[in-house]
Chains A and B, each alone.
Chain A
């Protein structure tokens, strides 16, 4: 299921007279010029994206890049100006009102940046909301909500109100509320951005932990690269409503497509993010000498520790099954850690 969610030629323009604006955008007019000429704001510009089933797909960008707009197109909280969105073969944009409501109830749920819990409902009622809306019997939804309350580690908080809980706990409720409907797709709009760093890391672990078991299709919005690299299995970088790079995390760091992306990644600690498999020299005809064999998923920082223990300064790399698939020399290692200096194309 590589194309579980398919977004094709998606445009969003805010303002009046969007048809005229759309034609201008298609001719390649800039965001500023468009605003000047038609008083319309360009939200999304020709988005083409495939999102795989059961993966965490991170959409990254600075504020104003259109990432929150994009995620709201998936459940049509925002209607597009032009384009196509198919999810599991269903054309989401053609759903009528009734089917759309049902689609939101059954197929996707959302976690919000500012939690957006219902302040007048208890924690348990909050978690039940998605099920209550579906008119499921009280006994069933209470049981399910209890289960998720426990699962996110908030047992015993049933009758509290949201504002009695800390930010991290509130977002656990937000997560439980989204998971309780058993929807296949989870939309997370900067879900952890409002939390302080320690709690954020903790929540990321909670999410990764849950995902190992649930295998949901998660679309995760963030402006934080470290977060994107930690949880993302694929990352799309958005700028001015346009996807500048859509790739796996390793490739984004090793081969940024333009200056904008390399600006983004310049401050990360490469030795802690890049994995052995990304920089090794592939080679199958390696004799097993007396050298350490490391895991292909190992990050460079750890590879460095291994490599300095050896005499010849190189290590072999094995895959998950234990098969040798390549080698890394000290030289390759250092090149990998060093930030690339090569010229890359400028962005406008």
Chain B
């Protein structure tokens, strides 16, 4: 009756062989193609570095002014402006200016990347049910798999640095924008779409003139979620060499520095709140046609 009490598992040597084969296969893959893949991501790296330099080298008053200007154009809200100004002044005063700029740079680049990749995928999903059934389980995996697990192959392939960090952030942050683009386009009123069709609009005219504009509030909710998730990844990304607010938090965890951890943690929260409020206001302002 041993087979009842003890699970009939694979024998040890077999299991060891199996793991070894997988590991070796991936190692040889990364040895052979790692450099090529790294080169492929080079433009991304230089883009990210340039972005970071821009943030770090610009005198702080100009940076704050630019951020406030963007916030104003996007939200038209005095409260948000005042809150943003206060937050950045405090961040600077407590000595977190540079880390915050690094974080800002990687978040913006990651979000941009997610938008550029995620929205077309969402559109493709909305167009065809086949694509949707194919992509949805992948998104499920991306959202539920522990981030450390996909850090392993990324690091094996690309080593430690900014690009693997960026990729890890993107893997974690891209699902909401894909999902909500798909949803937003699918939720566009069938009658309105039929009207466009009855006037002889082709696929692109329908997509750009009717579907995307009407889905835009939903798409913006997706962008908002993507930014929030990217921020949530900052600490984990810092484990593989991403500069920014995550690094001090990591140091604080291993050394039990309460104040350091709290300050940098709160700075991340403040960034999150600013991003959230501003993008939400954009989403709302896009639906102005709904109110009288």
- Interchain nearest-CB distance for A33 vs B (Å): 30
A177–B199 alpha-carbon span in the complex (Å): 10
Interface string of A104-123 (1 = CB under 8 A from B): 11101110101011111000
Contact check, B198 vs A75: say whether CB atoms are below 8 A apart. yes
Q: Which of A11-19, A47-55, A129-137, A320-328 contacts B (4 or more CB under 8 A)?
A: A129-137
Which of under 10, 10 to 19, 20 to 34, or 35 or more describes the interface residues of A? Answer: 20 to 34
Contact check, B198 vs A129: say whether CB atoms are below 8 A apart. no
Contact check, B200 vs A118: say whether CB atoms are below 8 A apart. no
Contact check, B192 vs A118: say whether CB atoms are below 8 A apart. yes
Within 8 A of B (CB), among A152-195: 161-164, 177, 181, 187
Would A112 and B200 be within 8 Å (CB), given that A120-B214, A133-B205 are in contact?
no
Interface string of B174-217 (1 = CB under 8 A from A): 00000000000000010110111111111001000110011000
A106–B192 alpha-carbon span in the complex (Å): 19
Which A-chain residue is minimally distant from B205 (CB atoms)? A133
Residue B12 interfacial (CB < 8 Å) = no
Contact check, B289 vs A114: say whether CB atoms are below 8 A apart. no
A120–B189 alpha-carbon span in the complex (Å): 12
A4–B210 alpha-carbon span in the complex (Å): 33
A177–B196 alpha-carbon span in the complex (Å): 11
Which A-chain residue is minimally distant from B213 (CB atoms)? A120
Which B-chain residue is minimally distant from A125 (CB atoms)? B209
Contact check, B200 vs A103: say whether CB atoms are below 8 A apart. yes
Contact check, A119 vs B290: say whether CB atoms are below 8 A apart. yes
Residue A77 interfacial (CB < 8 Å) = yes
A163–B290 alpha-carbon span in the complex (Å): 7
Residue A224 interfacial (CB < 8 Å) = no
Within 8 Å CB of A75, what residues of B?
A: 198
Residue A210 interfacial (CB < 8 Å) = no
Interface string of B123-155 (1 = CB under 8 A from A): 000000000000000000000000000000000
Residue B292 interfacial (CB < 8 Å) = yes
Residue of A132, A133, A177 contacting most chain B CB atoms (<10 Å) = A133
Within 8 Å CB of A104, what residues of B?
A: 197-200
- Interchain nearest-CB distance for B217 vs A (Å): 10
Contact check, A105 vs B199: say whether CB atoms are below 8 A apart. yes
- Interchain nearest-CB distance for B203 vs A (Å): 10
Which B-chain residue is minimally distant from A134 (CB atoms)? B200
A162–B210 alpha-carbon span in the complex (Å): 15
Which of under 10, 10 to 19, 20 to 34, or 35 or more describes the interface residues of B? Answer: 20 to 34
Residue A101 interfacial (CB < 8 Å) = yes
Contact check, A116 vs B199: say whether CB atoms are below 8 A apart. no
Within 8 Å CB of B292, what residues of A?
A: 163-164
Within 8 Å CB of A102, what residues of B?
A: 200
* Chain A interface mostly: mixed
Within 8 Å by CB of B191, from A108, A112, A163, A181, lies A112
Within 8 Å CB of B199, what residues of A?
A: 104-105, 109-110, 129-130, 133, 177, 181
A161–B201 alpha-carbon span in the complex (Å): 21
A187–B194 alpha-carbon span in the complex (Å): 13
Within 8 Å CB of B205, what residues of A?
A: 133
Within 8 Å by CB of B198, from A109, A162, A164, lies A109
A163–B288 alpha-carbon span in the complex (Å): 11
A77–B193 alpha-carbon span in the complex (Å): 11
A180–B142 alpha-carbon span in the complex (Å): 49
A103–B210 alpha-carbon span in the complex (Å): 20
Which B-chain residue is minimally distant from A181 (CB atoms)? B199
- Interchain nearest-CB distance for B198 vs A (Å): 4
A192–B112 alpha-carbon span in the complex (Å): 47
- Interchain nearest-CB distance for A314 vs B (Å): 52
Contact check, B198 vs A110: say whether CB atoms are below 8 A apart. yes
Within 8 Å by CB of A77, from B197, B214, B290, lies B197
Within 8 Å CB of A161, what residues of B?
A: 289
Residue of B194, B195, B201, B213 contacting most chain A CB atoms (<10 Å) = B195
- Interchain nearest-CB distance for B241 vs A (Å): 44
- Interchain nearest-CB distance for B74 vs A (Å): 19
Within 8 Å by CB of B194, from A112, A120, A133, A163, lies A112
Which B-chain residue is minimally distant from A129 (CB atoms)? B199
A105–B196 alpha-carbon span in the complex (Å): 10
A41–B205 alpha-carbon span in the complex (Å): 32
- Interchain nearest-CB distance for A186 vs B (Å): 11
Residue of A117, A130, A187 contacting most chain B CB atoms (<10 Å) = A130
Interface residues of B (CB under 8 A from A): 189, 191-192, 194-202, 205, 209-210, 213-214, 289-290, 292
Given A101-B200, A117-B195, A119-B214, 20 further pairs, Cβ under 8 A: A75-B198, A104-B199, A104-B200, A105-B200, A110-B199, A112-B195, A116-B194, A118-B192, A118-B195, A119-B290, A120-B213, A120-B289, A129-B195, A129-B196, A130-B200, A132-B209, A133-B201, A134-B200, A161-B289, A163-B289
Pairs across A and B, CB under 8 Å, 7 listed: A77-B194, A77-B197, A112-B194, A116-B195, A118-B196, A120-B289, A177-B199
Shortest 4 CB-CB distances between A and B: which pairs?
A: A104-B200, A105-B200, A116-B195, A110-B198
